[in-house]
Amino acid sequence: MRVAQQMGCSLKTIAKRLNGKIIGDETLLIHGVAAIEDAQAGEISFVTHPKYEKKAASTLASALMTQKVFEGISKTFLIVEDPYFCFAKLLAFFNPPKRMPTGIDPSAHIGERVSLGEDVSIGPTVTIEDGAVIGDHVQIGAGSFIGAGSQVGPGTQVYPNVTIREGVKIGREVIIHSGTVIGSDGFGFAFHKGKYHKIPQVGGVIIEDDVELGANVTIDRGALGQTIIGRGTKLDNLVHVGHNVKIGNDTILVAQVGISGSVTIGHHVTLAGQAGVVGHLTIGDHVVAAAKTGVSKDVPSGEHISGFPHFSHKEWLKSQAVLRHLPNLQHQVRSLNTQISEMEKEIKTLKDEKENTS
Residue 317's contacts (CB-CB under 8 Å, 6 or more residues apart) are: 306
Beta strands 218-220 and 195-198 are unpaired
Active-site residue flag, 243:
yes
| Lateral strand order in the sheet of 226-229 | 115-116, 133-134, 151-152, 168-170, 204-207, 226-229, 246-247, 264-265, 282-283
| Strand blocks (E) in 162-291 | 163-164, 168-170, 175-176, 181-184, 189-192, 195-198, 204-207, 212-213, 218-220, 226-229, 234-235, 240-241, 246-247, 252-253, 258-259, 264-265, 270-271, 276-277, 282-283, 288-289
CA–CA separation, 215 and 218 (whole Å)? 9
Element containing residue 337 per DSSP (H, E): helix 326-357
Beta strands 246-247 and 204-207 are unpaired
In contact, 326 and 320? CB cutoff 8 Å:
no
Q: Is the peptide bond before 309 cis (omega within 30 degrees of 0)?
A: yes
| Catalytic residue selected from 137, 177, 243, 310 | 243
Residue positions annotated with a catalytic role: 243
